[in-house]
Amino acid sequence: MHKVSVIGAGTMGNGIAHVFIQNGFTVNLIDVNAAQLEKAIQTIEKNIDRQIAKGAVTEEQRKNALANLTTFTDMALGVQGADLVVEAATENIDLKLNIFKQLDSLAPANAVLATNTSSISITRIAAVTKRASQVIGMHFMNPVPVMKLVEIINGYATAQTITDAIVALSKQLGKVPCVVNDYPGFIANRILMPMINEAIYSLYEGIAGVNEIDTIMKLGMAHPMGPLQLADFIGLDTCHAILNVLYEGFGNPKYAPCPLLTNMVTAGYLGVKTGEGFYKYTAGSKELVVSDRFSS
């Protein structure tokens, strides 16, 4: 595999494009929004400059990497000649099913179609194509250039040869692949989201405050970030949506989102991206300040 098309130039898409171009792959980065593509190029340049400042990358490598990147707003043009398509568009089932239907007719017949979805069934996405054996989950973690893990998800019909190829490719990117099967939440979110939900329940029931909950998990369990801070970072709407996928997928009330989480999402307190969740965020400041709603 040499030629990769990445669909969606948001938070994840620009990071995925970044690691591929730095490892010698040719990347067509595709987004419906031209402004998002410009922003993605700026983000990639800024992140490579950060790597240069740390001495991890040379100016020559920067030049070579950026020369591997082309942007497109037209998916038909952007997937021409692709060996692999990695879809990282907005987490919305109808949108993704529509993209995969189009990809099936636009991408070369032998191309592998991967999705970076956090929670949508790979089997369901694969089922709208005529090449379900070539569809696979490639779940990168945020921030992509920094995080080593790629959770590789086999759909029900994914061929072993495709899994093997994607495992080898992930290693070529300097990542550590872990292969799992396609059930709600896969592994990462099936384990992470109930922990976050339990932390929110502990706050909701008044068992402890935001600081206490996060400090116990940081210092007691050696987690780099407490679960409430992590939820703010991921986005409370995203956490809520993934918990609902687990709840509906397994039909088990143990996954139902905590009513406090539901209230916060309904009110638009989504964490870092809206400036307030369990903590308050001020641009330019790294200080962790508990939201007034939870400080006693």
Return residues touching ligand NAD (CB under 6 A).
7-13, 30-33, 36, 88-91, 95, 99, 116-118, 139, 142, 234
Terminal Cα distance for the chain, rounded: 56
How many Å apart are CA 27 and CA 16, to the nearest integer?
10
* Cβ count near 192 (within 10 Å): 17
91 has binding-site annotation: yes
Active site annotation includes 116: no
Considering the candidates 14, 18, 116, 151, report the single residue annotated as catalytic.
151
| 118 tagged catalytic | yes
CA–CA distance, 260 with 205 (Å, rounded to integer): 10
116, 118, 170, 197: which one is catalytic?
Answer: 118
Q: How far is the CB of 293 from ligand NAD (least distance, A)?
A: 24
Q: Is 15 annotated as a binding residue?
A: no
Tell the smallest beta-carbon distance from residue 174 to ligand NAD (Å).
18
Taking the least distance from each CB to ligand NAD, the nearer of 13 and 226 is: 13
Rounded CA separation 23/64 (Å): 10
Calpha distance 164→253 (Å, rounded): 36
Q: For residues 33 and 215, which CB has a smaller minimum distance to ligand NAD in the complex?
A: 33
Strand duo 135-140 + 149-154: pairing: antiparallel
Q: How far is the CB of 95 from ligand NAD (least distance, A)?
A: 6
Say if residue 31 carries a ligand binding annotation.
yes
Of residues 47, 119, 189, 202, which has the active-site annotation? Answer: 189
Active site residue 151: yes
Q: Which residues contact 162 (CB under 8 A, 6 or more apart)?
A: 112, 133, 134, 136
209 annotated to a ligand binding site: no
Query: Any known ligand binding at 73?
Result: no
* Catalytic-role residue among 14, 18, 47, 139: 139
Nearer to ligand NAD, 79 or 203 (CB): 79
Closest residue to ligand NAD using C-beta atoms:
10
Nearest approach, Cβ of residue 217 and ligand NAD (Å) = 19
CB of 35 to ligand NAD, least distance (A): 9
Does 96 show up as a binding residue in the annotation?
Answer: yes
**Residue 225 marked ligand-binding:** no
Is 103 or 199 the residue whose CB approaches ligand NAD more closely?
103
User: Catalytic residues, which ones?
Assistant: 118, 139, 151, 189
Known binding positions: 8-13, 31, 91, 96, 118, 142, 273
Known binding positions for NAD(+): 8-13, 31, 91, 96, 118, 142, 273
